[in-house]
Chains A and B, each alone.
Chain A
Amino acid sequence: GQQLNQSPQSMFIQEGEDVSMNCTSSSIFNTWLWYKQDPGEGPVLLIALYKAGELTSNGRLTAQFGTTRKDSFLNISASIPSDVGIYFCAGRYTANQAGTALIFGKGTTLSVSS
C-alpha cells in the first residue's frame, strides 16, 4: 500500500536555528499538506501544495512540492519555542471511487531549547 517516509523522526535544536524535514513516497500524490499537532489537539494545517514544483511560504515556514510529485519538504527558519510540536506531512489521494483521503507520515517531533 501507499506509504510516506518522513524524516527525521525527531529533532532537538536551539532557538534561532533553521529546521528542515521531508517526506518521500514511492507513490504520486496530487496534493501535499503539512500539519502541526500540539498535545491534546488535532492537526492544524500549515501549508497546502497543489502543483509539482510549487514553493509556498507561510511566515517562517516554507514548503515545496517535489517535481516528481513523490516528495515534499518543510523548512522552518529562525525557530522559536512555540514551534515545538509534531509535524506531519500528508499526501492526498483518490480513494475507492471518487472519494479522497490523506495518508500521513509518522511525524517529526521538534524540540526547541531557548
Chain B
Amino acid sequence: DSGVTQTPKHLITATGQRVTLRCSPRSGDLSVYWYQQSLDQGLQFLIQYYNGEERAKGNILERFSAQQFPDLHSELNLSSLELGDSALYFCASSTGDSEHGNQPQHFGDGTRLSIL
C-alpha cells in the first residue's frame, strides 16, 4: 500500500460528459502529480501541484484541469470527454518538489476511465 488513495477505481461515462477524479496524497506529502496511462502513449505526466499551487505542467489538454485543496487532496477535472480520453489516470505524491531535494514519487492504484 503506497498510502496514496484514488477514487473512484472505475468510471464509465459518455462522450461530451465531465468527470472529477480524486486523490489523497500520503500523509505528510505536499506534492501531487497526475499522470495518464494509455496503451499507445504509456505513462504521461499531466500536472503537478505543490502545497496548493500549480508547479509544473506537462502534456495536459485544455479540457483538463486540476486543483489542490488546503487539506492537500487533489482533483483532476476532465471535460468534453472524447473516446481517446479512455485511459488509466494515476495520482502520485512526494514530500516536496525539486526545490527541496530529491524525493521519489509514490503512486496510487489509479482510476480507470472508460468513455463509451
Q: Taking beta carbons and an 8 Å cutoff, which residues of A are in contact with B?
A: 30-31, 33, 35, 40-45, 48, 50, 88, 90, 92, 94-107
Contacts and interface: CB of A to CB of B under 8 A. Distances in A.
Interface residues of B, number: 29
Contact of B90 (A42, A101, A105): A42
Interface string B99-114: 1001011111110000
B74 to A, nearest CB: 14
B102 A99 contact: no
Contacts of B48: 95, 99-101
A92 B102 contact: yes
B56 A99 contact: yes
**Most chain B C-beta atoms within 10 Å of own C-beta, residue among A31, A102, A103:** A102
B110 A99 contact: no
A99 B98 contact: yes
B56 A96 contact: yes
B104 A45 contact: yes
